[in-house]
Structure 1
Amino acid sequence: MIFLGDIAHPWDDTPHWADGKPPWENQPVVVNLEGTLVGNAAPMGHRRLFNKPSILDALKKYNVQVLSLANNHAMDWPDQFEDALQNLKEQGFVTVGAGMDSEEAAQSVEIEENGRRIFFLAFGWETIECEAATTRKPGVNSLKPGPMLDSIRALRSRESEAVIAILPHWNYEMEVYPQPAHRQLAFAAIEAGADAVIGHHPHRVGGIEFHRGKLIAYSIGNFWLPQGAFFDGELRFAGDACLELAIEWRPDAPAMAHWFRYSPADHSLSHMASEPLTDSLELKKRSGFAGLGHDEYKVWFRANRVKRKLLPIYDNYQNVMGNRMRDRYVLLRHKGLVALERSGLRRLMGL
């Protein structure tokens, strides 16, 4: 099984990488579809992401079977969400993490690989504007620790022999290290019965760890999110976001890291190397915290985190009231940054 990062496709033509052969043998592929499928012209100037229908051929050529929709751009085009969801299912894709109501969004999905049943659950962190589904409106499966862990335990209880992979959309953009609360939650997910935790959202590759022998990849970055196209050409990321990671994983064999390089100049996506995941010097560099206790990691994270400008640290997923206060602050900060951006001051201030 292959895990790819964020995919958003702004053009009518199929992306060129679909014409090449991936560096792995044919097997199921799981991606984070960052933005809904849109059937008409989508204005680039809006602060929204989307996928043109031309992406579907590329996904099929890569044998993509599972699409996680639990992200902060799933509801950027709410008037097209229902049609997009139906279209994806009719095209043969399995979608997880979003739905027309909270019950559908929270459902696990299943595929089969070589006779083995594999289940997926996906969750989106509301703090980063993942719009949660309710009983009356569509949206994503909210990343709330209690319900998340309960759903994993319930699934493990029903499917004692199956493989369970968890797909959380979390952390701040461009942060390379996990929030202490998210690291705790990943460990708890493994203890509740998950076999792997594969994270998205920061748009850069993060570190990895193994807990009880189970893989945790905190962020696998982008896979295909062209720079200089969305947001009226303003959406660009730091250079480190051009390093892309595909993880080849199965629970009974060593995992592999397949490295790609994206070029903003010509939008090329080139395979660089493939290596055993645990041998990767690049991943070891990003995983300097591996093996620390949770209290030790809090200290380590404060000293080493990347995103520092007026952003709170989430240091305990069980601190419900404290995290709600942090959530409100982050939301107000985001509104302030949007106002600064519209005024042209955000870039001048370096925020």
Structure 2
Amino acid sequence: MLILGDLACPSKAISTRLIEDMRAMGIFDNELILCNFEGLLAENASLEDEKLFNVEDVLRAFTPEQTVFSLANNHIYDYPEYIEKTERTLNNWGFYTVGVKHGESLTPTVLTWRGTKYAFFAHCWNVYTRTNSNNINDISIVDDDYPIFVNAVSEYARSHAEQRVICYFHWNYDFEEIPFPMHREIARSLAEAGVYSVVGGHSHVPQGGEMINGCPVLYGLGNFFIPSGVYFGGALKYPKESLITTVLDIDDETDDVNCYWLETDGEHAISLIKAERFDDGNLIKRFSPYRGMGNDEYVSYFKKNRTKNSLVPVFDRYEGATAKLKQLFAVIRIKLIKAIKG
């Protein structure tokens, strides 16, 4: 199984280049794939708007019946009028989707791959859904408060021990290079409940990962592919730190965990840098300086080494009144920044 980061592809010409590069690498063949679909299939989308979207042609890069697209990300609300149609189109192609709410309960997307049942959950940090909300219809993505989501997934994992439960999170801040302490806490809670793997995205840079109770956790995959200098009228440009992306590779038969490291949006759309073991590879260790740290030690480390520290609270716990207040402050802060920018 391969788990990929954020995907947004705005034109057929760009998708053709991406497809050629993916096929040339050969690592995506005959694999179960989970990928974050960072933007809907939006017919009237404009590159001049500060929004992300995908063109349908990019779906040719993936194989139906063995690809799961997560729709639990903040850019889904860029064009909420296309949520239902996008989900229907993906399903009509034969792809699985996860992350859109259907009913009151939190239910996973379940499929069987090579004789094993997988259950996929996806979640978007609700700081983002409160600052880029859906004001058009009542369709929503999974953004429950963390305690509710963690408890629901934990209960599911304990009662479905025969299934491999995968959690895909959209969390953290853009370009933050290390995980929030509360996200390490969430990962530990889920790992202790028997979740098979926890992965995250949204930061657009790799954040490394660690094994927790035998559960591979990768906090930030980075962009799988979002072309720089194209969206937002060409203003959405990514720094050099965003040109490297992680693909988590979990062997379906042996449970061996590896990483593929790709360069994205360089001379090619994507190209392979190297493959290495998740446990002791040089690159994954470089991006994971927190391995082995306890909660208190890591909070101190995070305070000293985080990328964003201007009026940004330290999210050290995901439960309790203080956690709620910090998230409310984050919502107000983002809304003020947007208002100032006009």
Judge which range, 277-286 or 330-339, deviates more: 330-339
User: Separation in 1 of the partners of 2:159 and 2:183?
Assistant: 26
User: Separation in 2 of the partners of 1:157 and 1:210?
Assistant: 19
| 1:250 positional shift | 3.6
Count of equivalent residues: 335
| 2:71 matches 1:50 | no
User: Separation in 1 of the partners of 2:73 and 2:283?
Assistant: 26
| 2:90 matches 1:88 | yes
- Name the CA shift for 1:86/1:69 in 2 (closer, same or farther; >3 Å): same
| 1:128 positional shift | 2.7
What residue ranges of structure 2 are gaps of 5+ in the alignment? Answer: none
- Name the CA shift for 1:237/1:153 in 2 (closer, same or farther; >3 Å): same
| 2:67 matches 1:76 | no
Match of 2:226 in 1: 225
User: Separation in 2 of the partners of 1:301 and 1:279?
Assistant: 22
Residue 306 of structure 1 aligns to a residue in which SS? coil
Q: Is the 1:9–1:224 Cα contact (8 Å) retained in structure 2? A: yes
Q: Is the 1:126–1:132 Cα contact (8 Å) retained in structure 2? A: no
| 2:10 matches 1:10 | yes
Q: Is the 1:132–1:139 Cα contact (8 Å) retained in structure 2? A: no
| 1:271 positional shift | 1.3
User: Separation in 2 of the partners of 1:210 and 1:220?
Assistant: 15
1:120-131 equivalence runs, <5 A: 120-129=120-129
Which of 16, 28, 31 is the equivalent residue of 1:27? 31
User: Separation in 2 of the partners of 1:124 and 1:36?
Assistant: 15
User: Separation in 1 of the partners of 2:154 and 2:56?
Assistant: 36
1:143-222 equivalence runs, <5 A: 143-222=144-223
Which of 68, 78, 87 is the equivalent residue of 1:66? 68
Residue 111 of structure 2 aligns to a residue in which SS? strand
| 1:336 positional shift | 2.6
Match of 2:115 in 1: 115
- Name the CA shift for 1:64/1:55 in 2 (closer, same or farther; >3 Å): farther
| 1:295 positional shift | 1.2
RCO comparison, higher one (Cα < 8 Å, 6+)? 2
- Name the CA shift for 1:300/1:181 in 2 (closer, same or farther; >3 Å): same
Q: Is the 2:259–2:276 Cα contact (8 Å) retained in structure 1? A: yes
User: Separation in 2 of the partners of 1:230 and 1:221?
Assistant: 17
Match of 1:337 in 2: 337
| 1:30 positional shift | 0.8
| 1:297 positional shift | 1.0
| 1:132 positional shift | 7.8
**CA-atom RMSD in angstroms:** 2.2
Identity of aligned residues (%): 27
Q: Is the 2:129–2:143 Cα contact (8 Å) retained in structure 1? A: no
What residue ranges of structure 1 are gaps of 5+ in the alignment? Answer: 343-351
Query: Deviation digits for residues 168-207 of structure 1, max 9, x if unmatched?
Result: 1111111111111111011001112201101111001112
Q: What is the one-letter code of the residue matched to 2:107? A: Q
Q: Is the 1:35–1:76 Cα contact (8 Å) retained in structure 2? A: yes
Judge which range, 237-246 or 249-258, deviates more: 249-258
Match of 1:41 in 2: 44
TM-score of the two chains, using structure 2 as the length reference:
0.91
TM-score of the two chains, using structure 1 as the length reference:
0.89
| 2:324 matches 1:324 | yes
Residue 98 of structure 1 aligns to a residue in which SS? coil
Q: What is the one-letter code of the residue matched to 1:162? A: Q
